[in-house]
Chains A and B, each alone.
Chain A
Amino acid sequence: GAVVSQHPSWVICKSGTSVKIECRSLDFQATTMFWYRQFPKQSLMLMATSNEGSKATYEQGVEKDKFLINHASLTLSTLTVTSAHPEDSSFYICSARDIQIYGYTFGSGTRLTVV
């Protein structure tokens, strides 16, 4: 079945540094990928939708200059948290849409801790 690989699974960084998270669709082409943020014991909040070869569409309230999204190929999307601060600490999950089966496959998530 469809598999989405997300790396790293966890990362600790110092305040003020940038962190890049990768999301790859391993066995299908994903023209659209999604990035979510999840706080403890809460639901997934959609941050942005990225389409291959075009600029990402950000949800209201999400700072596009802070959360840089690149979707340069049909199998790879990246989320870069720039100048990270402790309040950016969260669980980030990516998802890729497979139009062949109309499904959304999720990565395993990245636990970001900013100290």
Chain B
Amino acid sequence: AQSVTQLGSHVSVSEGALVLLRCNYSSSVPPYLFWYVQYPNQGLQLLLKYTSAATLVKGINGFEAEFKKSETSFHLTKPSAHMSDAAEYFCAVSDQGYSSASKIIFGSGTRLSIRP
């Protein structure tokens, strides 16, 4: 079974500061990993994904994440926070299969607040 754990349900940083959202995964097979962002009353937008290629993945809006197998982590970072980054962020894991049983499982989410 696969799962992800997001450490910290709420993270608050100052505008311009480093953003670090933590995600640890558990998977019995090589995982695919994702970070999504959700704004209020909206669906999910993909920020970036890891699919067993480069371990450092760059996404949209200046976000990036590094896959660390030894630490089973996939933390999301951004060097300088903007007010528009305030949202809910979800880490997710999927196996690499294309079978009908393959699915994506979400973490509990981290709400990011940006202080002026």
Interface residues of A (CB under 8 A from B): 4, 6, 32, 34, 41-44, 46, 49, 51, 54, 57, 91, 93, 95, 97, 99, 102-109, 111
Contact = CB atoms under 8 A, between A and B. Distances in A.
Interface of B: 32, 34, 36, 41-46, 49, 51, 90, 92, 94, 96, 98, 100-109, 111
Given A43-B109, A49-B103, A108-B42, 11 more contacts: A34-B103, A42-B108, A43-B108, A44-B44, A46-B103, A51-B100, A93-B44, A95-B44, A104-B104, A107-B43, A109-B42
Contact of B43 (A32, A49, A57, A93): A93
B107 A49 contact: no
Chain A contact residues, majority secondary structure: strand
A99 B92 CA distance: 17
A107 B111 CA distance: 20
Contacts of A106: 36, 43-45
Contact of A108 (B32, B43, B100): B43
27 contacts: A4-B43, A32-B100, A32-B102, A34-B103, A41-B111, A42-B108, A43-B90, A43-B106, A43-B107, A43-B108, A44-B90, A46-B104, A49-B103, A51-B100, A54-B100, A57-B100, A57-B101, A93-B43, A103-B46, A104-B34, A104-B104, A106-B43, A106-B44, A109-B41, A109-B42, A109-B43, A111-B41
